[in-house]
Amino acid sequence: MNTFTIYNTETGEILYSTTTEATIDELGIQDGEAILEGCYQTNEHKIINGKAVALDLDFWDMVRSERDLLLYACDWTQLADVVMTAKQKKAWSKYRQDLRDLPKNQSDKLSYEDIDFPPSP
């Protein structure tokens, strides 16, 4: 029996793993997919340059905690009675949206050190 992992070549996302008697050349894959020998789990690995890299799953908890603290620290900017120019309000609003979008927009990052937090206005 052979074990293979099929992944998206553009994102490195693991699509599925399979155990089969087929050889790597006999497996049918679609455009944008590639095959790697071995069994790798979607929640534990990502494929980078054709190699499985273990994900540090806990770092996303750290990222979300930091993001939440940054959001909390600037909650005051969204209060109705805060005196700011329209340009300042827009800048703070964008910053806060960038923070909320951070996990989604940086899902390709593999460690806390790789995360680019947006600069505050």
Which pLDDT tens digit goes with each residue over 21-55?
888 788 888 899 989 888 888 777 888 888 888 77
Q: Give the model's pLDDT for residue 7.
A: 92
Q: Of 28, 54, 80, which marks where a domain is finished? A: 54
What is the rounded distance in angstroms from the CA atom of residue 37 to the CA atom of residue 25? Answer: 12
Closest CA to 78 of 89, 67, 94, 66: 89
**Domain with 65 in it:** 58-114
Structure tokens that stand for 17 in this block: 């793993």
Residue range 51-101, pLDDT digits in tens: 888 776 678 888 888 899 899 999 999 888 989 999 999 999 999 999 999
Q: How many CA atoms lie within 13 A of 54 on its CB side?
A: 2
Q: Is residue 121 part of a domain?
A: no
Which whole-number Å values give the CA distances from 111 to 3, 55, 116, in the listed order? 28, 8, 11
- Bridge partners (DSSP) of residue 3 are 19
For residue 119, tell me if it sits in a domain: no
Task: Please give the model's pTM, rounded to 2 decimal places.
Answer: 0.55
40 is a domain residue: yes
5-9, 25-29, 113-117: least confident range: 25-29
Same-domain pairing of 79 and 37:
no
Domain count of the fold of the chain: 2
Look at 119 and 107; give whichever has higher pLDDT.
119
Helix pair 58-73, 86-105: axis angle to 10 deg:
170
